[in-house]
Amino acid sequence: MNGTTYKRCGCRDAAGKRLGQRCPKLRRGGGWNPNHGVWQYQIDLPAAADGRRRPLRRGTYASQAEAEAVLGQIRDALAAAKDGEPADLTMVGDLIETALKNKQPPPTPAQVRRLLHLGDTTEIPTVQAWLTTWLAGRKKLRTGTRRSYAGHITNHLIPHLGAVRLDKLRVSHLDAMFDAIEERNELIMTMRASREAANRDKVKGMRLVSPATMHRIRATLRAALNAAIRQGYIDINPAAHVELPPAVRPKPLVWTDERVKAWKHTGALPGPVMVWTPEQTGAFLDHAYAAEDPLYALFHLVAYRGLRRGEACGLHWADVDLPGKQITIRWQITQHGWATALEPPKTDGSEAVVALDTATVDALTAHRARQHRQRLAAGPKWAQTGLVFTTSTGEALHPADVTDHFQHLTRQAGLPPVRLHDLRHGAATLALAAGVDMKVVQAMLRHSSIAVTADTYTSVLPDLARNAAEQAAAIVPRRATVTPINQRAAG
C-alpha cells in the first residue's frame, strides 16, 4: 500500500484511444518531459467491507512533489491504523475515499487515532476544561460579551456537559441539555403560578431561559467548539447540528376579563408575556401608594416611563433632573447568578435621556424626601451610594429582591400575575393607547429599531385595535344606516 506517482496525458492515437502513460511525449532523454502531461498518484486502499478491491488513482498535479504530498498524507493516515484491527483499516479506507470524493484532504493521523481510539487520548480535554481555557484566551472580548459567555458556560454548559471529553461530545448530549432547560422552565412557571407560598418560595430568584437565550447558549458552545476544531481536538462541531425552536419574540397579551376569569379557574397563564390593562396598572400603583411602600416610586417610574429593572435599580440622583423633568440612563445593576455589578448599559442606544411626566416627577420628589428621612434615621450607617432607590440603609437594591417584592404586592392587590419587566411593556401600551407616536415610544424604550416597537406592541391593547377598526370604517361613505342585528331581531 505504498503507492506510486507517475505522469499521464490526454493524447490519443489514430483510433481515438487515450495513450495515457504510453504517450511518447511524456518521456524525454530517459526522464519525464517537464513540458508535457500531468502528475498523478495511485495506491491500493484497504479492501472494502464487502471484500472489493479499491485501487485509487487521482490527480492532475503540476509537479511530482504535489502528487507525492497527497500520497504521503494517505500513507500517514493508513499507518496510523496499523495497530488496530483489520476493520479499522477498512474504516480508514472509507474515510479517505469519502474525503477525496468530496474534494477534501485525507484525514490526519491524529484524526484517525481519535476515531479509532488508538494511542494516548489523555491530552484531549473535557468540555469543562476546554470552555474554561477558551474563554480565558479570548482577550479582546467586550465586557458584556464576556459576561454573557461566562454565564452560559457556568450556568448551563458546564453543569450539563462539563464532564464529557471533547471528542466524545455528541448532538444527543446537547439535546438532553436543552430538554433539561425546558423542563426547568416548566417547573418555574408552575411554581410561580401556585397559590401555595411554599411552592413560590422554591423558585425564588430563579429565572426562565427563553428560546432566544437557548440560541445564544448554543452559539457560545459553537464558537468554543470551532476553536477546538482549529486546535485539532475534534473534527465535527455538534453544536452546528442541534435543532432548536425558533427564537420568536413572544407577543404580549393583555389581561382581559375573560383571561383573568380563565386564570382564576385553571391557574394557567395565557402566554409567557402578559400585560395589565391601564385599569389594572392603576390598581397596582394605588395599592402600593396606599401601603406607603418604599419602592412605590420605582414601580411608578417603570410603569410610566418603561425603564428596565436594572436601569431603575442603578439610577443615580446625579442623573435625575426634576426641574427639567428628565432622567439620564447611564448605569444599570446587572445580575450574574446571585452576584450583582453596577455597569453601563449594554448598548449605546440604551444610554439616553428619558422625559418625565408631572406625576412621575411628583413621585420621585416624594421619594427623595422619604429617603432623606431614612438617611437621618440611619446616621453613620447610611451607605453613600448616590442611588435613587436603595435599602433602608442606602445600600443598592438586589434586582431579584425587587422582583420578589413586586410579585408580593401583585398578590396583595389581587391582580393577575405579570413580570416586573412587563410593566415596561405596559408603559409602551399606555403611551400608544394615549395616541403617542410610535417613533416617540421607540425613543422612550430605547429600542434599536422602530420595527421592534411596532411588531411588539401594536396589537396589544384591545382599545388600540378597536380604535383602528372604527377609524378605518369611518373612511367608507354610506347612505344607509345599518341596523344592529339585535335590534332587527327585536323588531
3-state secondary structure of 375: helix
- Residue 42, classed as helix, strand or coil, is strand
Judged by DSSP in three states, 38 sits in strand
Q: How confident is the model at residue 89 (pLDDT cuts 50, 70, 90)?
A: confident
304 closest CA partner among 403, 395, 436: 436
Would residue 85 be called left, alpha or beta, if left means φ above 0 and alpha means ψ between -120 and 50 degrees? beta
Residue 231 has pLDDT above 90, yes or no: no
Question: What confidence category does residue 301 fall into, taking pLDDT thresholds of 50, 70 and 90?
Answer: very high
pLDDT mean across residues, the chain:
85
pLDDT of residue 262: 94
- Encode pLDDT of 90-111 as tens digits: 888 888 888 888 888 888 887 7
203 burial via Cβ count (<10 Å: 0-12, 13-18, 19+): middle
pLDDT at 399 over 80: yes
pLDDT one-digit tens code per residue, 34-83: 888 899 999 999 988 888 899 999 888 889 999 999 999 999 988 888 76
- Residue 35, sorted as left (phi over 0), alpha (psi -120 to 50) or beta, turns out to be alpha
Neighbours of 244 (CB within 10 A): 13
For the entire predicted model, the pTM comes to 0.57
Tell me the domains of the chain and their CATH numbers: 4-116 (no CATH), 127-241 (1.10.150.130), 253-473 (1.10.443.10)
Q: How far apart are CA 364 and CA 377, in angstroms?
A: 20
Is 359 a residue whose pLDDT tops 90? yes
List, in sequence order, the alpha helices (H) in 169-243.
Answer: 171-192, 197-202, 211-230
The H or E element that residue 40 is part of is strand 38-45
